[in-house]
Structure formats: C-alpha cells, structure tokens
C-alpha cells in the first residue's frame, strides 16, 4: 500500500495536490461536482484589503499549450472573505485551507495577513508578491531580494501561522530572492507564478488582452517551473510548493523529485474541473508504476 501523505510545515496532508489560487475560487463552487475533502488542501482566490473589480476585458487569451490571463486580482476584499466566503466553505471542507494574500503596499499585506491569521479555518498564508497582472504592486515586491525580505519580515511580525511567499519567475536570479524570503522568516516558498506573455489579434492587429500583457500559464511552463524548484531546493532549507504546468500524477512526482513538498495545479482546473480529483485518484497507481512507496521520502530525490 503506497503512502501519499506529506507534511507541510507541521500540518499533515493526505496527498500533495493543491489547486492553485485563482483557479479554484473559494472552494465551495467545486463542491457541487465532487467531495473537495479528497484534496490535500487548496489555495483560495487572491485577497486584497479592499474589493477589486480587476482589469478591463478581454482578460483571457488562448495559447497552443496554455493560456494568458490578466484578471487583475478581482476579489471581494478581505473582510468579505472572512465574513461570507469562509462560512460558505466550512460545510464543504473540513481541512485547513491556504489563504492567498495580495497587496499594493507592505501595510496592505500586513493588514490582510493579520486578519486572516486569526481565522481557525486557515492553516497557511500564501503571500503573493508575484502577480504580473496589476500595476503598482504585486510583482514589484517579488523582483528584488530586498523588497521580498521586507515584505516577508513585516508579515511574519503579525502572524503565527506558516507563511509561504509566492515568487515570480520573471527575474534573472530566483535563488537570491528565495533566500531573501527565507532570511526574512518565511516558512516556505511557492513557485512559480505565471510568466509574462501576450497575444496579438491578426484581424485587429492589436493585443488580444485589454491589459496588453498577462500571466502565461499551462503545460508549456512546466520545464521552467521544474528548473526553478530544483535550483531553489539546493539553496534553502524551507519547504517548497511547486507550481506551473502541472496536469498529471507524473508531473506531481517529477516536481517532488526536484524538491517540492507539495504541488499546486492551476490552469488544468480551468480546462477540466475534475483535474485535481483525477490526479489524486491516479497517484497511487503511478507511484506503483515507478516503485515509489512514500511520497514524503522522494522529496528532492533528483538531487542525490
């Protein structure tokens, strides 16, 4: 009998499969299709201090091996999430959930994290300093080791729960930024967020997306994400959540061999709402195929 359990900062997960923020809503929407308690956990929609309508439309552009989005962190605001979204989730999900937090200033990150840290349902905080779809915040904090350190340290002063910092791949040295987060007190690293991309409509001869550029996700970015997980694993001693182009049980195992403790599934959920369910259900058979008895034991296995 194979063992799919892993431990993420002291919290046990039945399996390492986590739907990524922005692709799974607040969870209860998917509960109409299947029992979401089979998930390891999930990261809910990126939350800011105030409600955000997001970017103008069109926000989505299709690609051959993925998609580009520029939703722009549309969300109802942190107070609404606490008062309305989490109570709606509670009857459907009995496990700790991951709270994804975005912001436009260090003060905003502090405010949101301080409030969400007090919620019993929340097990981890995932601080997004890597969103390429907004102006004046988000990714600007994730492209500088100093800024990443400052955000991490500030958030850690007001939280008791494990904090994962979500990083952008749109940098020249992902390792230095990950190490800065670790030095700032991060309990883990989530990587990667989307690559920056665009499409042009040949008929109008203008960018497809109103924002011109957006986050490129999907199976095409898996090798980039895998490479960055591998690099960061060799340089930090805190757990990594691998994200980017994951769509199969084989991808999950490959990410874990590179150094991920858990794995998030993003764009695949938008193609197939049962994607995570199917990955989890095929994981034991795939482990048998590759003679893997325990997933916890293979983390970083490609490095030895």
DSSP secondary structure letters along 260-297:
-SEEEE-HHHHH-TTHHHHHHHHHHHHHHHTT-SBSGG
Q: How many domains does the chain have?
A: 1
Residue-wise pLDDT for 128-168, tens only, equals 997 654 445 555 677 889 999 999 999 999 999 999 999 99
Residue 58 lies in a domain: no
pTM for the predicted model, two decimal places: 0.95
> Is 204 contained in some domain?
no
131 is catalytic: yes
CATH number for the domain including 177?
3.20.20.70
Asked if residue 65 belongs to a domain, the reply is no
Return the structure tokens found at 302: 């490609």
Catalytic choice (112, 113, 131, 181): 131
What confidence score (pLDDT) does residue 130 get?
77
Q: Any residues with CB less than 8 A from the CB of 255 and at least 6 apart, and which? A: 225, 226, 229, 242, 246, 263
For residue 158, the model assigns a pLDDT of 98
Residue 66: inside a domain, yes or no? no
Q: Is the pLDDT of residue 87 over 50?
A: yes
**Averaged over 259-267, what is the pLDDT?**
98
Q: Establish if 202 belongs to a structural domain.
A: no
pLDDT of residue 304 exceeding 90: no
Residue in the block written with tokens 């850690």: 156
Instruction: Report yes or no: 260 and 242 within 8 Å, Cβ to Cβ.
Output: yes
Whether residue 57 lies inside any domain: the answer is no
C-alpha pair distances (Å), 291 with each of 3, 43, 185, 253? 12, 30, 36, 12
Please indicate, yes or no, if residue 68 is contained in any of the structural domains: no
Give the residue numbers spanning the domain of 175: 6-52+75-196+217-303
């Amino acid at each position: 009998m194979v063992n799919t359990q892993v431990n993420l900062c002291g919290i046990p997960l039945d399996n390492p499969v986590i739907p990524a923020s922005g692709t799974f809503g607040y969870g209860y929407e998917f509960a109409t299709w299947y029992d979401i308690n089979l998930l390891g956990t999930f990261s809910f929609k990126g939350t800011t201090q105030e409600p955000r309508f997001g970017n103008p439309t069109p926000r989505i552009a299709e690609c051959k091996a993925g998609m580009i989005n520029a939703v722009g962190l549309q969300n109802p605001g942190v107070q609404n999430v606490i008062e309305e979204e989490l109570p709606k989730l509670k009857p459907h999900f009995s496990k700790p959930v991951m709270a994804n937090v975005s912001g436009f200033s260090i003060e905003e990150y502090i405010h949101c994290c301080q409030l969400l840290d007090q919620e019993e349902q929340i097990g981890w905080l995932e601080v997004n300093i890597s969103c390429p779809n907004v102006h004046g915040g988000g990714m600007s904090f994730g492209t500088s080791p100093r800024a990443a350190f400052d955000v991490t340290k500030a958030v850690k002063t007001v939280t008791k729960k494990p904090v994962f910092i979500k990083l952008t791949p749109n940098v020249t040295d992902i390792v230095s930024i990950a190490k800065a987060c670790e030095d700032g007190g991060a309990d883990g690293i989530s990587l990667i967020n989307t690559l920056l991309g665009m499409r042009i409509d040949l008929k109008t001869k203008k960018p497809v997306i109103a924002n011109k550029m957006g986050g490129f996700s999907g199976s095409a970015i898996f090798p980039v994400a895998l490479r960055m997980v591998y690099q960061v694993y060799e340089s930090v001693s805190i757990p990594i959540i691998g994200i980017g182009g994951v769509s199969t049980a084989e991808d999950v195992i490959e990410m874990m061999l590179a150094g991920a403790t858990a794995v998030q599934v993003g764009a695949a959920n938008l193609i197939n709402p049962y994607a995570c369910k199917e990955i989890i259900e095929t994981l034991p058979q795939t482990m048998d195929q590759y003679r893997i008895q325990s997933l916890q034991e293979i983390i970083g296995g490609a490095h030895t």
